[in-house]
A and B are shown apart, each in its own frame.
Chain A
Amino acid sequence: DAGITQSPRHKVTETGTPVTLRCHQTENHRYMYWYRQDPGHGLRLIHYSYGVKDTDKGEVSDGYSVSRSKTEDFLLTLESATSSQTSVYFCAAAGGAGQPQHFGDGTRLSIL
């Protein structure tokens, strides 16, 4: 058990609404990540964090923002959801340098 919990696990919402996904970890890991997984694209990095209040963009960051006010929580926000953001979102966390990432069980987000 990697101690990573994502909420909600499933969400359906409408285009133009704001959406926030939460990732909570209990292992005091320094690094946290948000990915999206789509058929034909594998796992792609959206944003990541290397400490409290320290975040940076990944390869598919447009339309997403993140916040990390506590070590254990990493939030992903879609300010105005679009249908292209329908996907499965995974959070991951890693400890120190060179440590492997461990993943949560994902959030399936559908935007109609």
Chain B
Amino acid sequence: GQQLNQSPQSMFIQEGEDVSMNCTSSSIFNTWLWYKQDPGEGPVLLIALYKAGELTSNGRLTAQFGITRKDSFLNISASIPSDVGIYFCAGQQVQGAQKLVFGQGTRLTINP
């Protein structure tokens, strides 16, 4: 099935560092979503992007909807221990039943 290319697959950083991850696709999406998943829990929505070129922040998180509508970026500034987890991007084609296509995830580990 269709999947997004999410990179990097894993990151090992020091507390306080900034983090960047991205997703690319060969298909155009009308909506880009970023989720975070903690162990034993379901993905939690962090940021939703609805317009090409849109830049949206949620606290220390900033995400952008690429102008080509085929990519998106997530940045985390000044990382803290609770940022540890797996981050997923998802593209949504707003037609039919709003199905999502997910990236493989970026596993973030923070060294104290």
Contacts and interface: CB of A to CB of B under 8 A. Distances in A.
A24 to B, nearest CB: 14
Given A50-B97, A97-B94, A98-B30, A44 B42 contact: no
Name B's interface SS: loop
Interface residues of B, number: 27
B31 A104 contact: no
B104 A42 contact: yes
- For chain A, the bracket of interface size reads 20 to 34
A78 B81 CA distance: 39
Interface in A34-51: 40, 42-45, 48-50
Contacts of B30: 98
Nearest to B100: A101
A44 B97 contact: no
